[in-house]
Amino acid sequence: MSQKVDIAGVKFDAVRYDDVITAVEVFVSQTHQKHMIATPNPEMVVDASQRNSFKNLLNSTAMLVPDGIGILWASYYLSLPYKKNRVTEWVQRWSSLLKVFFKHSDIYSILPQRVTGSDLLFKIVDASQRNHWQIYLLGAAPGIASIAIDRLLQKYPDAIFAGSFAGTPAETHEDELCERINQAQPDILFVAYGSPAQEEWIHRNLDKLDTVKVAIGVGGAIDFAAGKAKRAPNWMQKMGLEWLWRLIRQPRRYKRIWNATFRFIKLIRKYKKVCHQVEKKAKA
């Protein structure tokens, strides 16, 4: 079992991509068990801090992987000694944030790697070639998933796709979607309805899916795989600036970007103070 790291009440697994692939291999081999993997980013942690039901859902999954450099920063910042003085706390916080931009090794000292849903989809499809897993893509706009499959097969010709369907996360459509997936008999299901809809859909329906052993919410990964959306350049990804790339390309997302950056930083600062107070009371 991997080490758990508490980020504002959301319990992340300290894993790398290889660890996730190994876990998926084990999960698929367990005939009578089903597993959900979630990939929370800072925005999702902010959401979970406001809704206990969503926090409990995330913490009930088989694996929570850190999708977002902000999650790695938070794990490092929360591990630092608490500073009561406002000036020294400010210096500590912003010096730790600067380490994100310079890829300082400290940022990876608690959570060793950023594991994105977008990259995870590609790595699992790659691994499926040697493991003979059958994969189903659910979500994205109509027709996008089939384009994604065509492009993925060009890169991973031995992958097996059981099918795809757009559908919607509406509860009124769940029986139809479950029937479609059951007819296709996949081992692994990727769901791309955006958060929290995709995680809530999986949570409600995983037990209804006869052959699915692993279900993963992957957000915009199917759009990326289909070439319909473009990820930030590698240098921006490495510097933790994907939020800026999204803001430039989609200014209407400013509220979501705000939640994933400034509100998240504020939340983590507050959580650090709460943790300090709890520890202080425990020692008293």
Q: From first to last of the 284 residues of the chain, give the pLDDT tens digit.
A: 679 999 999 999 999 999 999 999 999 999 889 999 999 999 999 999 999 999 999 999 999 999 988 999 999 999 999 999 999 999 999 999 989 887 789 999 999 999 999 899 999 999 999 999 999 999 999 999 999 999 999 999 999 999 999 999 999 999 999 999 999 999 999 999 999 999 999 999 999 999 999 999 998 899 999 998 666 667 666 666 666 656 566 666 556 656 667 899 999 999 999 998 988 888 76
Give the separation between CA 215 and CA 203, rounded to whole angstroms: 9
Identify the three-state secondary structure at position 39.
Answer: coil
Give the separation between CA 232 and CA 221, rounded to whole angstroms: 13
Query: What local confidence, expressed as pLDDT, does residue 104 receive?
Result: 84
Other beta carbons within 10 Å of 6: 14
Nearest Cα to Cα of residue 260 among 39, 41, 31: 41
Other beta carbons within 10 Å of 245: 15
- Residue 53 tokens, joined: 């039901």
Contacts 24+ apart (CB under 8 A), 125-131: 125/152, 125/156, 125/159, 126/156, 126/159, 127/21, 127/24, 127/25, 128/156, 128/159, 128/160, 128/188, 129/156, 129/157, 129/158, 129/159, 131/25, 131/28
Q: What dihedral do alpha carbons 205, 17, 47, 36 form, nearest 10°?
A: 20
Query: What local confidence, expressed as pLDDT, does residue 151 receive?
Result: 97
| Cα distance between the two ends of the chain | 33
Contacts of 170 (CB under 8 A, 6+ apart): none
- Residue 14 tokens, joined: 């300290």
Residue 228's alpha-carbon distances to 13, 140, 180, 222, in angstroms, are 31, 10, 25, 9
Other beta carbons within 10 Å of 132: 11
Please check whether residue 177 is in contact with residue 165, taking contact to mean a CB–CB distance below 8 angstroms: yes
Residue 263's alpha-carbon distances to 28, 60, 201, in angstroms, are 37, 25, 26
Query: What local confidence, expressed as pLDDT, does residue 65 receive?
Result: 97
Phi/psi for 188 (5° steps) reads -125, 135
Spell out the domain ranges in the chain. Answer: 1-277
Nearest Cα to Cα of residue 135 among 85, 92, 187: 187
